[in-house]
Structure 1
């Protein structure tokens, strides 16, 4: 893809991280456990500290258009597992294979880091996202009843996993 770059962010990439994360929270508030209000007031140092986990961003013509983060389990018996978080791709960047490229970069990094399984939670009401994850090797493995409360309504979350072996 011309003018496309996918890379792991570093501490000096706070501006790009901030731009795409706040856009995600504003455009798709029902998709995330956090709200834009929780993130908008963070200092640049707090934003930078959140980049300690691997955060990957897709850039199109130098502008951030997508993001995915990977939260690794710390307990010794669970270090083989990571959770995919902060998944977002701008509407205008969808349907071009960019989301697949982004998730492939995350999975490649995870596998190279010794991760054997990536897990995620997704709203049971987000059929488009569930189908995307299924096309990319994830399988539903459970359900969290009332996993989130959005605008006063309980929303179930589907637990999905992808083995990397």
Structure 2
């Protein structure tokens, strides 16, 4: 792990953020892990990627994109944490009841999987959320994405019992997993 740098993305790094996202969307299980397709993301203008990267960059208040940079400077993994406030609604229109982190966009390049890198990214994401007084951290995972569910359980997340229907895929559901503060 010492050969990797784990850090927040910087606003000007939109091209690298775009490349890593497009790589994630080419993954064989991308349809179970991400709410957009490669074609949709690839068609977005550079202005979208600049704005998206700046919104999750170092120093941003409500969102943080954390990346793993390999020894050669190439990005090999990422996750993003959104800070959700009570009294608002989430991406699915469901009410948010607690100040919470919401982990999204988890991806580690296939050649880096099994190295412990995903755990290190999660540690950094949790540290960011806890540092902003989140009462818990949650994530949503497709009901058929067993690989991701096994990992999330291994790092301490547990199913909350909440099921989120996918509007773009009738009949398919996502499951909410949570990690309460003090249990990581």
**TM > 0.5 fold call:** yes
**Structure with a larger share of its residues in helix:** 1
- Shift, 1:154, TM fit: 3.3
Residue 171 (structure 2) aligns with: 154
Q: 1:139, 1:103 → 2: CA distance?
A: 15
Q: Any idea what SS the aligned residue of 1:154 has? A: coil
Q: 1:88, 1:11 → 2: CA distance?
A: 19
> Contact 1:19–1:64 (CA<8 Å) still a contact in 2?
no
Q: 1:143, 1:76 → 2: CA distance?
A: 18
Quote the RMSD (CA, aligned, Å): 2.0
Residue 69 (structure 1) aligns with: 80
Residue 131 (structure 1) aligns with: 150
Q: Which runs of 5+ in 1 are unaligned?
A: none
Task: Work out whether 1:54 is the aligned partner of 2:73.
Answer: no
Q: Deviations over 1:48-103 (max 9, x none)?
A: 22131210111112111111011221455756112111011111101111000000
**Structure with a larger share of its residues in strand:** 1
Q: 2:168, 2:48 → 1: CA distance?
A: 26
Q: Any idea what SS the aligned residue of 2:150 has? A: helix
**TM-score, scaled to structure 1:** 0.88
Regions of 4+ moved over 3 Å: 74-79
